[in-house]
Amino acid sequence: MAGNLKIVYALMILVSLILVVTSHSFLPCVTKDDCAYDECISPRKPTCYLETCHCL
């Protein structure tokens, strides 16, 4: 029983860490000015498409 609880706690911590790390990468945008210019490698430029920044 104690072994099962350790596994459940470990999975809860793992899932919460994954949620924290991935929540930063989905910041919504309205215009292309909301996107960080240094995220894209030249010659690509940041563009806001479907409320997500993409390099085009």
Whether 2 contacts 26, CB under 8 Å = no
pLDDT band at 23; cut points 50, 70, 90: low
Confidence band of 48 (pLDDT split at 50, 70, 90): very high
C-alpha separations of 40 from 18, 29, 53 in Å: 24, 16, 10
- The model's pTM is 0.47
- Give the per-residue pLDDT at 11: 94
The beta strands (E) that lie in the chain are given as 46-49, 52-55
Q: What is the mean pLDDT of the chain?
A: 85
Q: Integer distance in angstroms from the first to the last C-alpha of the chain?
A: 52
